[in-house]
Amino acid sequence: MKMFIKVQTKDAPQAIGPYSQAIEMGELVFISGQIPLTPGGELVDGGIEKQTHQVMKNVQGILHAAGSDLNHVVKTTIFLKDFDHFQQVNEIYGQYFSEHQPARSCVEVSRLPKEVLIEIEVIARKK
C-alpha cells in the first residue's frame, strides 16, 4: 500500500529537479513551489503580473490533476524576489482567492530558480 501518491500533469511545467509536481497523502495535496514556467517549460517574462498569473494557472492545473481546486486550498506560501511587488501580487492573488481565503505566508527571498520574481507552494485537501 502506497502512503504517498505522485501527482503528474501536463497542465503544469514538469519538475526541473528531483522532486514531484505534487504529492498526495490521504486527503491532502502538497504542491511543490511553482514558478512562472508554461506547461511547455517556457519562462514567462513581462513582469510580476504575468508571472503571478502563470504560477496560479500552474497551481490550478496540478490541483485539478489531484482531484482538488482553489476552493480546497488550506495554506499557501508566496516567495517574492522583491517585496515591493507585494501589492501587485496581493491584488492578483485576490482574483483567485476572493471568497475562500486560505492561510498564507509571504516572504522575500534573495533568489529564486531561473531568476524568476515569484514562487508559490500550496497545501490543499481533496474534494
The yes-or-no answer on residue 49 being catalytic is no
Q: How far is CA 105 from CA 2, 21, 28, 75, 77, in A?
A: 31, 20, 19, 8, 5
Q: Looking at the whole model, is its pTM more than 0.85?
A: yes
At 11-65, the pLDDT tens digits run 999 998 899 999 999 999 999 999 999 999 999 988 999 999 999 999 999 999 9
Per annotation, catalytic residue among 106, 112, 121, 126? 106
Question: Is 86 in a helix, a strand, or coil?
Answer: helix
Hey, what domains does the chain have and what are their CATH numbers?
5-125 (3.30.1330.40)
